[in-house]
Amino acid sequence: MLASACSQTVSGDPRPEPAALTGTAPAPAPAIVRAPGELVLPPERFPEPYVAVVLPPEAVAQAAPDLTGIQPGSKVDPGGCLPPAQNYGPESTAMVVGTDNASRATISVEVTRSAPDVGEYRTYLTECSQVDATVRGITSTVSTVLGDDPAIAVDGAETLALTRTVDSGRGSGGMTQSMAARIAQIGDVRVTVTYLSFDAAPPDADNLDLVFREAVDFAARP
């Protein structure tokens, strides 16, 4: 005798197996890489008396080198002490500058993406603590002194502090710029906050430190 075969038909549309059963997982969402302009502290977050503005890209390429004291195209002594190369385009650098109109002092916030490691920059500053830079016939002496690394409440961040003077020209036509800077590195993002004045008066350390904390917190936000 032959037994009759049994068959059953299940209604409904076929569905793919869950990832847990097939052994495959959905591809992770790509990481969102924010441009420096999205990471730089907004002007309204600057304290009084600093009136801040976002610099357009063409102004960034001029203002950022000013904070190193060494202009592009300079001849330097010792040789090899040109500042590390930097891309000043909007995909790599953004700046906001606040000005105290009474004293002409400024506090600038610069955010750089894909910046070299802070340890490399520290080595450069140690080896090039005093540099004579000549451009268009004018020689400037740039002197940099490292300070105590500032503390910030961001896990994994590297920090660095420095003071710098730039003595340009000679005699009555000379000029001195004084700077104090705080730097934080968070992954490939570097935040540099610099106080700059045109005299030998002490820096506005309270507001410099305040802007530094605000700028680092803003850049590190999720």
What is the tens place of the pLDDT at every residue in 15-49? Answer: 555 554 555 555 554 456 789 999 999 999 999 99
Residue 214 exposed, middle or buried by CB count within 10 Å (0-12, 13-18, 19+): middle
What is the tens place of the pLDDT at every residue in 139-158? Answer: 999 999 999 999 988 888 99
pTM of the predicted protein model: 0.84
* Pairing mode of beta strands 138-146, 75-77: unpaired
Residues 36/60, Cβ–Cβ less than 8 Å? no
What is the tens place of the pLDDT at every residue in 119-145? Answer: 999 999 999 999 999 999 999 999 999
Q: How confident is the model at residue 7 (pLDDT cuts 50, 70, 90)?
A: very low
Segment 80-93 shows an average pLDDT of 93
DSSP-assigned letters across all residues of 126-192:
HHTSEEEEEETTEEEEEEEEE-PPPP-S-TT-EEEEEEEEEEESSGGG-EEEEEEEEEEEETTEEEE
Greatest C-alpha distance within the chain: 121
Task: Report which DSSP code applies to 34.
Answer: -
Which CATH code is given to the segment(s) 36-220? Answer: 3.40.1000
Segment 6-16 shows an average pLDDT of 52
User: What pLDDT shows up at residue 4?
Assistant: 47
Segment 61-78 shows an average pLDDT of 94
Tokens representing 139?
Answer: 């020689």
Q: Rounded CA gap, 38 and 222, in Å?
A: 12
Is a pLDDT exceeding 70 seen at residue 170? no
Task: Report which DSSP code applies to 193.
Answer: E
